[in-house]
Amino acid sequence: MPTHSQKQWSVLTMNTIAFACNFAVWTMFSIIGIKIKEELGLNDTQFGILVATPILTGSITRLPLGLLTDRFGGRIVFFIQMLCVAVPTYGLAYATEYWQFLVIGLFVGLAGGSFAIGIAYTSAWFDKARQGTAMGIFGAGNAGAAITNLVAPMILVAYGWEMVPKVYSIAMVIMAVIFWIFTYNDPNQEERAKSGTHVSLKDQLAPLKELRVWRFGMYYYFVFGGFVALALWLPKYYIGEYGMDLKTAALITMCFTLPSGLVRALGGWMSDKYGARAINWGVFWVSSACLFLISYPQTTMTIHGITGDVDVGIGVGVTMFTVLIFIIGIAQGIGKASVYRIIHDYYPDNMGSVGGMVGVIGGLGGFTLPIFFGIASDLLDVRSSCFMLLFGVVTICMIMMHISIRNMRREEGLELEANKA
């Protein structure tokens, strides 16, 4: 009979691996979408909609899946969710028209809802002192995007893009079976089952009335939504901006996706040790500095010299760009963990509903940003416009956090004066 500690780590391990598999499926359009774009002759806006469509479903299903997890437990909900994802993923291989890719992509997007299940299921197994670390380890499943960057191009080159969803579908079914074997019903769920008492839907949704929840959602819009959007967009960006082939572009994109996913565990530990708000503030500053640099478009300036004209090129080369995007990925990975550590500080008993809602907003970032990237690219005819847009988003987050901290300190000052009086 396994001990409670053994159950904890078995559940956390399976949650993380299952989330990584789901995330790989959720982001596979970043690779196969490039071939589909070529076959169908899509423009950048249409491509942005294509890669973003699964992100939409993965976003809006996070709240209901979080509520279901709070009610029925993460084990059964996660198992059923993976089986439901496997079916449309396999069917994607037989799509031929643009509208078919969009419709099937909506159902494939259920893979993204796995985050809300796993975060609530993980949270139920660990005490407050280890919440940040545990949720950070689970969140490292974001590295599933790196799995797609590594595996999908190899399958695509060898067998064609149609084989990618077939392989992913079979892998998802196998993962669901392994998950069921090595996981357990969480203690909170067993206690609710014995007592026959469940939190009402009204009580689950009550915290969503608070402005604070939506502010946290905006933070997550950047750190998670921005991460997903870049994971989808970067292969295409490397191909267009630096003339790489698909396989090379996908592999270099791993410099962004893989560390950003894995470092989330470090972000959870740092949030436990130094405070989630302080970590978030640092994440925003680092990201804004890097985005400012890579937003500058490739420019050629002509200087009219005494003996003739001199052309001077200004722009970020591929090496410096990769270094800066790597730093942004690290910052976002840490930020993804710190945001959910803040949520648990305020709403430890509502991780399914509040965590799900924040996940919805963050996921919508992954849906809307690639579309905005495509529109900006088509309108401005500047590839780096996507980073200009992200710079604007992180600036809004910093303003919101500054106002929040200022108001909090003002309230603390008023309370201190009242106590002295």
Examine residue 196 and state whether it is found in any structural domain, yes or no.
Answer: no
DSSP state of 221: I
Tokens of 170: 């079979």
Residue 24 phi/psi, 5° resolution? -60, -45
The number of folded domains in the chain is 1
Domain, as residue range, for 125: 4-187+207-299+313-420
Looking up tokens 């919508």 gives 364
Examine residue 306 and state whether it is found in any structural domain, yes or no.
Answer: no
Residues in contact with 53: Cβ distance below 8 Å, sequence separation at least 6, in sequence order: 29, 101, 102, 105, 106, 109, 367
Chain-centre distance for alpha carbon 322 = 19
Q: pLDDT in tens for each of the 421 residues of the chain?
A: 778 788 888 999 999 999 999 989 988 888 898 889 888 888 888 888 898 888 888 888 888 888 888 778 888 999 999 999 999 999 999 998 999 999 999 999 999 889 888 888 888 887 766 767 787 788 778 778 788 888 888 899 889 899 999 999 999 999 999 999 999 887 766 666 666 666 666 666 666 777 788 888 899 999 989 988 898 889 888 988 888 888 888 888 888 888 887 787 788 788 888 888 889 899 999 999 999 999 888 777 788 877 878 777 777 888 999 999 999 999 998 998 888 888 877 777 666 677 777 878 888 888 889 889 888 888 888 888 899 999 999 999 999 988 888 887 787 666 655 555 5
Q: What is the DSSP string of 333-369?
A: HHHHHHHHHHHHHH-TT-HHHHHHHHHHHHHHHHHHH
Of 31, 32, 387, 48, nearest to 235 by C-alpha is 31
Examine residue 197 and state whether it is found in any structural domain, yes or no.
Answer: no
Looking up tokens 């959870």 gives 268
Q: 3-class DSSP state for residue 391?
A: helix
Examine residue 192 and state whether it is found in any structural domain, yes or no.
Answer: no
Examine residue 212 and state whether it is found in any structural domain, yes or no.
Answer: yes
Examine residue 198 and state whether it is found in any structural domain, yes or no.
Answer: no
How far does the chain reach from its first CA to its final CA, in angstroms? Answer: 59
CATH number, residue 404: 1.20.1250.20
Examine residue 131 and state whether it is found in any structural domain, yes or no.
Answer: yes
Q: What is the DSSP string of 149-212?
A: HHHHHHHHHHH-TTHHHHHHHHHHHHHHHHHHHT----HHHHHHHHHT----HHHHHGGGGSHH
Examine residue 238 and state whether it is found in any structural domain, yes or no.
Answer: yes
Helices 163-181 & 29-40, crossing angle to 10 degrees? Answer: 160
CA–CA separation, 410 and 135 (whole Å): 31
CA–CA separation, 67 and 107 (whole Å): 19
Tokens of 13: 């391990």
